[in-house]
Amino acid sequence: MSDGPLSYCADVHPAADLGDVVAQLDRYAEPIRRSVPMDRLGLGLRLPTFVAAGLASDRAARRRLRLELDARGLEVVTLNTGSEAPRWNDPARLRYSIDCAIVLADLLPDRFSYGTLGTVPLGWRTPWSVADDATAVAYLGLLVERLRALDGENGRPVTLAFEPAPGFRFDTVLDAVRWLAGRADPEYVGVCVDTCALAVSFVDPAAAISAVYRAGYAVQKVQAATAVQVDDPRDPATRRALTALSSDVAQPVRERGADGLTRAADDLPYALTWLPGAGPWRISRHLPLHARPDSPLRPTSGVLRATVDAVLAETGFADFPHVEIDVCPRAAGMDDVASLVAGVAADVACVTELLDEVGISSEPAARSLAGPMLRVGSAWVS
């Protein structure tokens, strides 16, 4: 198996402090890499707010963390900052993003020329006002100034990647594109396409990806994940299966009716009560990429493949962005160390096989992230 432009999201390893971050490398990340196996494996870290602040103020600590990663065959080209700070109308979000950018600039392996900060799509769509938009634009401007300064110091940009998701201000990729146009510098701000969220939106992947590049922005990261789909929500067996999926975590649902309209519910129990069931449902619940649920549930694996194809059509092989696997341990039954290691390793192998099929991982060399109108750096995680 050849290595590919691939990492996995380490949000599944919660850490209370920097010691925990390093301990999780030994407990999970390195065993996952060895299980695939790979010489090197990319890791999307999520740093607690105070850990990011401490590292940002201590270059020696950042260098020690990078040495810890190197020693285990692990690499970091992205930090996932989604839930560790408030919405983009709060100065705490700006401070945290700047801290993470400083950290990532020093964690990037030498052969990579850009890194990404995955970020929340502004905030929940309600409450969100015109004044909140203006505040977010101001904070983005301040962040871009800092990112530009870091780029000048290091010669490698750190970019911000908004990840649209159901229920947020950017509910879809198209929402993000419309909002970003004219508001954010495309050299340092772009889009992370989560293929679970994209599937739930019922937006055609090719249309969504094309819109990003036509607007002058780039897909900086593809978050590989699948949603749950059911074709007949009115069927009693299907409703029983869906009821069993209920969770204390919100799982937005979208229904595509025969009239072509998409109807929404912000959580599965509301969908079961209020949506008419006049067409297929897609539920924002990540599934293991290597496994298949029992009928009548099925994964939206085709959306992941279609997204890879659509991005490849825009960028070509040489400019394909890196891919990060999103992992949902509870959905996969990964409730202990051994099962989590095995499950994530199986997902990594599954996505590596997909990338091999389309030829993306055939050349283990540095790759650039570019679009027809924009070049912001390069990355090849292997």
Express each pLDDT in 39-78 by its tens digit: 999 999 999 999 999 999 999 999 999 999 999 999 999 9
Instruction: Report the pLDDT value the prediction gives residue 374, as an integer from 0 to 100.
Output: 30
Q: What's the burial of 259, exposed, middle or buried (CB within 10 Å: 0-12/13-18/19+)?
A: exposed
Please state, in angstroms and rounded to a whole number, the distance separating the CA atoms of residues 130 and 40.
45
Tokens matching residue 152: 């000048």
Element (H, E) at 43: strand 41-45
pTM listed for this prediction: 0.90
Let me know: does 28 contact 63? Beta carbons within 8 Å: no
Pull the structure tokens for residue 217: 């922005």
Lowest mean pLDDT among 168-182, 237-251, 320-334, 345-359: 320-334
**Residue 287, pLDDT score:** 87
Helix 301-315 crosses helix 205-214 at what angle (to 10 degrees)?
30
Average pLDDT score, the chain: 89
Asked whether the beta carbons of 204 and 195 are under 8 A apart, the reply is no
In contact, 189 and 180? CB cutoff 8 Å? yes
Residue 203 predicted with pLDDT over 50: yes
Could you list the beta-strand ranges (E) of 86-157: 115-119
pLDDT of residue 171: 94
pLDDT of residue 322: 83
Quick: pLDDT tens for 323-365.
Answer: 999 987 555 556 788 989 999 999 999 999 999 999 886 333 3
**pLDDT confidence of 373, banded at 50, 70, 90?**
very low
> Domains of the chain: which residue ranges?
6-227+285-378
H-helix or E-strand containing 253? strand 253-256
Q: What is the CATH number assigned to the segment(s) 6-227+285-378?
A: 3.20.20.150
Instruction: List helix spans (H) across 170-267.
Output: 173-180, 195-201, 205-214, 236-243
- Which residue from 303, 280, 283, 304 is spatially nearest to 293, judged by alpha carbons? 283
Closest C-alpha to 208, from 57, 103, 310, 312: 310
Confidence bin at 83 (pLDDT 50/70/90): confident
- Distance linking the first and last C-alpha atoms of the chain: 12
Give the C-alpha distances (Å, rounded to integers) separating 190 from 51, 89, 296. Answer: 25, 18, 36
Determine if residue 260 is left, alpha or beta; phi over 0 gives left, psi from -120 to 50 gives alpha, anything else beta.
left
Q: Name every residue whose Cβ is closer than 8 Å to that of residue 111 and which is 6 or more positions away in sequence.
A: 366, 380
Strands 226-230 and 74-80: unpaired
Q: Give CA 74 to chain center in angstroms.
A: 18
Q: In 3D, which of 80, 44, 28, 21 has the Cα closest to residue 325? A: 44
